[in-house]
Structures are given as structure tokens and as C-alpha cells.
Amino acid sequence: MTSTRETELRARAAQLDAAHAATDLRTRFLLPEGVVYLDGNSLGALPAGVPAAVEDAVRRQWGRDLIASWNSHGWWQAPERVGDRLAPLLGAAAGQVLVGESTTVRLHQALHAAARMRPAGDVLVVDPASFPTDLYVSAGVAEQVGWQVVECSPDELAGTLADLGSQGRSVAAVSMSHVDFRTGRLWDLPTITAQAHAAGALAVWDLCHSAGAVPVDLDAHDVDLAVGCGYKFLNGGPGAPAFLYVAHRHLAAFSNVLPGWHGHAEPFAMHAGYSPAPGVGRARIGTTPLLSLLALEAALAVFDGVDVRAVRARSLSLTAYLREAIETLVPGTRFASPALDEQRGSQVSVVHPHAYGVVQALIARGVIGDFRTPDVVRLGVAAPYLTHGQMLEAATALAQVLAQGEHLDPAYAERPTVT
């Protein structure tokens, strides 16, 4: 790369950062010095308000007010309250989002509810490239309710549904991930949802890699059910609770496969028989880990006064610039992530035969991404706390790692169990 091109890249980074200054939310986070953090699509950074909120929950609410906090501090209402706070980021009206449990549990509930709402259906369509948990849950639920699982890529869904229809099969649900966790491919949620509905199926979405980063507009696109985690782009912390979305039109028919006393219409009456609570509260199970839930509630404050569409605009600029800088500094780079804005989530994925070593060498230089088997260097771009200047730092570090062979260090030859 010529020095002129280097100068141009630096100048463009500065210009782009100035243009997107309104969505630079770094002051709302506690970020470590000297680190370019590109793993927010796995674990979001720490929002500045979370430590104080957790300390208050521990010292004042739990420590001083003890069990009275279920009433005096609204612990009991927290799953629905936090759900309503999250709902605008998902394009959902209040009363349709519940927070608590894990994504695995929430998907299990959603698919079982879909089976009850489509009793004649005998097929579940899934994307084979989905996150493994989604596939495990899909297979497990299918075995329990008598579905056949049919796999197809989202861009092949229309043809697959037509073939199944010609065979006289009834599709109960189509379950897809909004963003491919390896490649960052953003799928067309409105079109896929409409295709599912045209086949008489329910549309069930996993929003783990889009919630908080990409406008989802669940209500506008008539999504039926959706799930997602709280610890990626929502920055809720390790193990943050997940969410479940149930469209208003389905709430009365939603059947909770895991009925617990928190989801009872009269939980403190201690009836022997189960009657579901009205509204989305019927999806509650048991006692939610309150410290994690309150941490997520505090984390969501980073989005106060910020439209998710503005976050998306910043993300598209950052990821496009990162890709450009990598292409310039490392000619011939293979990308797994799409070049087109409308097809790209909030990450840039690079393909390299020594991807694990590349990731570890980048981490040693203070650029934290992650590895996905077998050959993907995954660079997640959490737009609120990253800059175009940092994208150039990351691209420069990648070029230096490869030029100096740092990724071939024998220390990276054997991968640990957790990567």
C-alpha cells in the first residue's frame, strides 16, 4: 500500500467518525484502554451504569430490604418491565416481550407453542447453518411433537416450501436466524416471514445476532414468535437473560410447555391446578435470576434517546470501512461476510486456513475478535462503542500479523477447549 493510500485511509476514518459523531456512545461504556474490542457479537462491553445498578441491587435491595424488594423494588414485575424496555429495539409494542431464562429455553417454548398453534403441521423447516443450539432444540422438539425437520438455506425457502406443498405436507413453522453467526449474513426477515405465512406456517426467529444492532420491526413484519439473548449487542453481561417475543394475536393461544408458578394466573394462591397468566406473563416459568436481569435492565439505558436505525447506519459505515481497509492492506483476502450492505449484519468475517492462529495473534496485539470453526476470523462490530479509526487499527494489525507470520506461532497450533 502506498503512503498516499495510507494517508487517504486515515483521513477517511477521521471524516467518517466526524460524520457519525451523534452515535458515538463510547462514554456510555467502561472500555479498557489500548483494546480494539471486536467480540461484542459474543459478549458486549460493560455499560457504565451497570456496576452501580448491580451494587444497588445487592447492597440496598437485597442487603437492606431483603424479601420486601419483590414488592418495593418491583422484582416481581421485572421480566415484563424489562421486556417492555427492550421492545422498542425490536420494533414491538409493549406487552409482547418477556425477559428471563436462556435462549435455549425460550426457543424450546416458542417451538412447542408453534406446534400447539399449528396442530395439523408435520414439518419444521430450519437453516442447517443455524447456531448448533437452535438445531439441537429443533431436533428435540420435533421428536417430542412428531415433526419432520427439513433443512434449507433461507434463500432456498420458497422452493422448499413449494416442494413440500406439492407433496401434501403441512409446514407448522419456519425457524431461522436473522444473522448467520459465522458469516454475518443478514437474511431478509420480511420476505421469509411472508413466505412462511403463505405456506400456512408460523415464522420463528432467532435474533441473537441482530437485536440491538439491526432494526427488526417484528410488529410491522407480522413475525409470530422470536427469541434472542441479552449478552451480545444488548450488552447485558455474561449469561444475561434471554427474551421471548409473542405477537399480540397469538398470546391467548400461547401454551407454555414449561408451566411454572411464576406463569400462573394467581401465583400466590398456590392452586394445585395450573391456569396461565394473561398476556406474555404466561411464558414465565420460575424465579428469574434477578441480579442478571437487573444488570440487563441497566445496560439497556445505553440506547436511551438512540434510534436503532441510527445504530445500524453507524454499523454499516464501520463494517464497510473495515472491509475496505482490510482489502487495501491485505490484498486477496477472502471474506465470508457479504459485501452488500443489505446482506450484512454487524460483523466482518475473514476466511483464513490458520484462522485460530490469526485470532490469537490479533488478541496479543490488543485486537480482540474470535474464531469460528473451521477457518473464520470473526470481527464483530458493536457500533455504539467502536470508531472508524479503530477499524483501521484492526486492519493494520491483521496486515502486520500476516506479514510477520505471527499467526504461525507454535503456541497456537493446539486449540484449547474454549476458544
Find out whether 97 and 90 touch, Cβ atoms under 8 Å.
Answer: yes
Active site annotation includes 131:
yes
Q: Positive or negative CA dihedral for 216, 219, 225, 230? A: positive
Find out whether 347 and 184 touch, Cβ atoms under 8 Å.
Answer: yes
Point out the catalytic residue in the list 84, 134, 206, 375: 206
Nearest alpha carbon to residue 243 among 272, 277, 216, 283: 283
Concatenated DSSP letters of 362-394: HHHTTEE-EEETTTEEEEE--GGG--HHHHHHH
Nearest alpha carbon to residue 293 among 219, 213, 234, 227: 234
Point out the catalytic residue in the list 17, 37, 39, 131: 131
Which stretches of 84-122 are assigned E, i.e. beta strand? Answer: 97-99
Which stretches of 159-261 are assigned E, i.e. beta strand? Answer: 171-177, 202-206, 225-228, 243-246
Point out the catalytic residue in the list 232, 312, 344, 365: 232
Find out whether 378 and 308 touch, Cβ atoms under 8 Å.
Answer: no
Nearest alpha carbon to residue 224 among 201, 253, 204, 254: 204
Active site annotation includes 378:
yes
Find out whether 114 and 152 touch, Cβ atoms under 8 Å.
Answer: no
Q: How far is it, in rounded angstroms, from Cα 318 to Cα 302?
A: 19
Q: How far is it, in rounded angstroms, from Cα 224 to Cα 175?
A: 11
Point out the catalytic residue in the list 312, 314, 365, 378: 378
Active site annotation includes 17:
no
Q: How far is it, in rounded angstroms, from Cα 241 to Cα 288?
A: 8
Find out whether 195 and 157 touch, Cβ atoms under 8 Å.
Answer: yes
Active site annotation includes 232:
yes
Point out the catalytic residue in the list 29, 181, 231, 254: 231
Which residues are tagged catalytic? 131, 206, 231-232, 378
